C-alpha cells in the first residue's frame, strides 16, 4: 500500500520518521549534545529534486546516502574526526509517496551507521517540490584543514580517482556520449557505485593525521572535490594566494579510464567525487601516499597567484580552457 504524505498527516509522518533516530530522540523541540572539549564543525547541504537528484537516476535510498556522504565529506575536508549526527529538513508535496520518504531515511541511516552519527532532529513541511536540507555536526581533530593553508612548494594530492561519479551518472542516464565507447565491467561498476554510494573520506583523513612527520606543524591545505577536482584546486589556490602546476600524466584517472578530451574533462570537472584534495609538505604527502592505496600525487603548489598550469606546456588551465569542450558537450 503506497500511502501519500497527505494521507498520513504530520503526526503519523513524524512517528514513522522517529524509527530512524535513537529512541525518544525526536520527542522534544531541541536536541542536546554531550559536552566535548573539541571544537565543533558544522555544515549544511541542500539537495533539490531535479537539480541534485531525480527519480530517473537515483533511488530514494541513494538520495539519502548521498546527502549524508556529501555532508560528511565536507566535515572530513575540514578535519572532523568524529560525527555527532545530522538534522534533516524535508520538504515534499502532499502527493509524495511514503515509500519515497522511507527510502530516503533508510539511506540516511545506512550512511550514518557506516560512518558515525545519528539523526538528531529535524523538521518537515509540505512544499511544491522535494527538497532535503541536512546539517551535520562533527568534532575537530588536531588539524583544522582550510582552503587558505596551501603554501608554495606543497605537493597536491587527492584520496582517489576522479570522474567516476560523472561517468556513473552518464551510464545511468544512457548518455549518448557513451555510445560506441567500450567500458570495462569493472569501470562501469565502480562508476555506478561512486555515483550512488560515494564514500566520505573520514578514514583517509584519519590516516593523514596518523602519518604526520613529527617535525612538521599541523598545517595543511584541504577541501573536498564535491564540485570537481579543478574547482577544488582553484579553491585552494584562490584562498591561499597561490597557484598550482598539474602533471597531465598524473591526472587521477581510474583504471581502464578511456582517453580523450571528454574523459579528461570528466576527470577534472565531472564533480561529486567527494575525495579529499590536499596541499601538503612533501614529506607528509609522501607518507600519506605510501599508506593510501587509492591516493594520487597530482601536482604541486606554486607562488603564481591564482594561476593553474599544465606542468609540461605551461599552458593555463581554467574554466575558459574547457570552453572548447563545451562546444560539443555540456557538463
Ligand atoms: Mg564540499
| Distance (Å, whole) CA 78 – CA 145 | 5
Same domain, 218 and 318: yes
Q: How far apart are the first and last CA of the chain?
A: 39
- Number of structural domains (the chain) is 2
Ligand 1 midpoint to CA 12 (Å): 34
Distance of CA 165 from the midpoint of ligand 1 (Å): 14
If asked whether residues 20 and 80 sit together in one domain, one would say yes
Q: Separation of 275 CA from ligand 1 center, angstroms?
A: 9
- For residues 57 and 44, give the distance between their C-alpha atoms in angstroms, rounded to a whole number: 23
**CA of 69 relative to ligand 1 center, distance in Å:** 10
Q: pLDDT tens for residues 194-215?
A: 999 999 999 999 999 999 999 9
- Distance in Å, CA 284 to ligand 1 centroid: 23
Domain identity same for 89 and 180: no
Give the full edge-to-edge strand order of the sheet including 80-92: 40-48, 131-140, 80-92, 118-126
CA 266 to chain centre: 15
Domain boundary residue, one of 140, 166, 198: 140
The percentage of the chain sitting over the pLDDT mark of 70, rounded to a whole number, equals: 96
What average pLDDT does the chain have? 93
Q: How many whole angstroms from 114 Cα to the centroid of ligand 1?
A: 19
Cα three-residue angle 67-64-100, rounded to 5 degrees: 140
3-class state of residue 266 by DSSP: helix
Task: Please indicate, yes or no, if residue 1 is contained in any of the structural domains.
Answer: no
Residue 123 CA to residue 36 CA, distance in Å, equals 26
| Nearest CA among 299, 100, 53 for reference residue 198 | 53
Cell 599552458 locates to 315
Q: At what angle do helices 98-115 and 60-76 cross, to 10 degrees?
A: 30
Phi, psi of 125 (to 5 degrees): -150, 150
What CATH number is given to the structural domain containing 197?
Answer: 3.90.650.10
Q: Are 132 and 159 in a shared domain?
A: no
Verify that 62 and 165 share a domain, yes or no.
Answer: no
Ligand 1 centroid to 95 CA: how many Å? 32
| Residue 74 CA, ligand 1 centroid: distance in Å | 5
Distance 202 CA to ligand 1 centre (A): 13
User: What is the Å distance from ligand 1's center to 259 Cα?
Assistant: 27
Tell me the C-alpha distance between 98 and 75, whole Å: 30
- Grid coordinates of 216: 612538521
CB 137 within 8 A of CB 69: no
Query: Does residue 209 sit in the same domain as residue 74?
Result: no
Of the listed ranges 107-111, 148-152, 232-236, 316-320, the least confidently predicted one is 316-320
pLDDT at 51: 86
Question: Mean of the pLDDT values across residues 68-97?
Answer: 97
Ligand 1 centroid from CA 223, angstroms: 7
The reply to whether 208 falls in a domain is yes
Asked if residues 257 and 263 have their Cβ atoms less than 8 Å apart, the reply is yes
285 in the same domain as 244 = yes
CA of 11 to the centre of ligand 1 (A): 34
- Residue 87 Cα to ligand 1 midpoint, Å, equals 18
The average pLDDT across 220-229 equals 96
Could you tell me if 189 and 76 lie in one domain? no
- Residues 302-325: tens digit of each pLDDT: 999 999 999 999 999 976 444 334
Closest by Cα among 193, 331, 182, 179 to 274: 193
Q: Which is more confident, 247 or 324?
A: 247
Find the CATH number of the domain harbouring 105: 3.30.1330.10
Q: Mean pLDDT, to the nearest integer, of 173-186?
A: 94
Other beta carbons within 10 angstroms of residue 311's beta carbon come to 16
* One domain, residues 160 and 81: no
Run of H or E including 274: none
- Residue 87 is part of which domain span? 11-140
Q: Are 224 and 264 part of one and the same domain?
A: yes
Q: Which residue has the cell 579528461?
A: 264
CA 70–ligand 1 middle distance (angstroms): 7
Q: Which residue has the cell 602533471?
A: 247
* Interval between CA 226 and ligand 1 midpoint (Å): 5
pLDDT bracket for residue 331 (50, 70, 90) = very low
Amino acid at each position: 500500500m503506497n500511502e501519500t504524505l497527505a494521507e498520513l498527516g504530520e503526526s503519523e509522518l513524524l512517528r514513522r520518521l522517529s524509527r530512524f533516530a535513537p529512541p525518544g530522540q525526536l520527542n522534544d523541540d531541541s536536541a542536546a549534545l554531550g559536552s566535548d572539549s573539541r571544537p565543533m564543525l558544522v555544515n549544511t547541504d541542500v539537495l533539490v529534486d531535479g537539480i541534485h537528484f531525480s527519480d530517473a537516476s537515483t533511488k530514494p535510498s541513494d538520495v539519502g546516502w548521498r546527502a549524508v556522504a556529501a555532508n560528511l565529506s565536507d566535515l572530513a575536508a575540514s578535519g572532523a574526526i568524529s560525527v555527532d549526527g545530522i538534522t534533516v529538513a524535508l520538504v515534499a508535496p502532499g502527493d509524495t509517496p511514503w515509500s519515497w520518504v522511507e527510502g530516503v531515511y533508510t539511506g540516511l541511516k545506512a550512511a550514518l551507521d557506516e560512518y558515525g552519527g545519528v539523526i538528531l532532529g529535524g523538521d518537515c513541511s509540505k512544499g511544491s517540490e522535494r527538497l532535503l536540507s541536512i546539517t551535520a555536526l562533527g568534532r575537530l581533530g588536531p588539524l583544522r584543514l582550510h582552503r587558505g593553508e596551501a603554501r608554495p612548494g606543497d605537493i597536491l594530492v587527492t584520496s582517489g580517482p576522479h570522474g567516476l561519479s560523472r561517468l556513473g551518472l552518464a551510464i545511468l542516464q544512457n548518455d549518448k556520449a557513451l555510445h560506441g565507447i567500450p567500458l570495462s565491467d569493472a569501470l562501469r561498476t565502480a562508476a555506478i557505485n561512486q555515483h550512488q554510494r560515494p564514500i566520505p573520506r573520514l578514514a583517509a583523513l584519519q590516516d593523514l593525521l596518523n602519518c604526520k612527520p613529527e617535525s612538521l606543524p599541523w598545517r595543511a591545505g584541504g577541501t573536498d572535490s564535491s564540485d570537481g577536482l579543478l574547482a577544488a584546486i582553484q579553491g585552494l589556490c584562490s584562498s591561499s594566494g597561490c597557484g598550482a602546476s598539474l602533471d597531465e600524466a598524473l591526472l587521477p584517472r581510474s583504471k581502464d579510464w578511456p582517453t580523450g578530451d571528454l574523459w579528461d574533462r570528466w576527470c577534472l570537472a565531472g564533480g561529486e567525487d567527494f575525495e579529499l584534495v590536499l596541499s601538503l609538505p612533501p614529506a607528509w604527502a609522501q607518507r600519506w601516499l605510501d599508506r593510501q592505496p587509492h591516493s594520487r600525487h597530482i601536482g604541486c603548489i606554486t607562488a603564481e597567484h591564482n594561476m593553474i598550469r599544465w606542468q609540461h606546456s605551461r599552458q593555463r588551465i581554467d574554466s575558459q580552457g574547457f570552453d572548447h569542450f563545451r562546444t560539443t558537450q555540456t557538463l
